[in-house]
Amino acid sequence: MPLFNLPELLHSLAPGARLLGLDPGARRIGVALSDVNRRIASPYETIHRAKLAHNAAEIRAIAEEEGVGGLIVGLPLDEDGKFGPAAQSARDWAHAISSATGLPACMWDETLTTAQVTEVLIHDADMSRKRRAAVIDKMAAAQILQLALDQANQAPR
């Protein structure tokens, strides 16, 4: 399944269909869920990275349970905004997960999202390192999804 840009993805969704935000890491995949109006992103869960078929089945199950119509996948651009090896790997994974789940996907720049979330959890929430490790991935996924939703809601429809 091809990757879409955000306006195309939103246009393809049924009314009330939610979006699932994904922050794929080497060990874990952060998952976030939008509301049915696609205005607010909330952390959902963290999935342990496994074989693609296993992760696709987990994502597909969430999508069916929550009424998800599409995916927003984090794109880790280099600090200078260039498309490096990490971005290529994420793009390949996004293509594969989209095909395996049957859900259309869009990629969204995730530059510094994990660092920003970590800073908030340390300074504002005063979380211990152990507690941060349990929530950081789904919080980063929520931030990626929220950034995409904010952009979508700024554009005229």
- pLDDT for 110 equals 83
For each of the domains in the chain, give its residue range(s) and CATH number, in order of start. 3-152 (3.30.420.140)
Q: What is the dihedral of CA 125, 128, 132, 135, to 10 degrees?
A: -70
Above 60 in pLDDT, residue 121? no
Question: For strand 68-75 and strand 105-109, is the pairing parallel, antiparallel, or unpaired?
Answer: parallel
Above 80 in pLDDT, residue 126? no
- For the chain, the average pLDDT equals 87
Above 90 in pLDDT, residue 120? no
- pLDDT for 29 equals 96
Q: Are 104 and 98 in contact (CB under 8 A)?
A: yes
Tell which residue, 104, 111, 120, 118, has the closest CA to residue 144: 111
Above 60 in pLDDT, residue 132? no
Q: Are 33 and 149 in contact (CB under 8 A)?
A: no
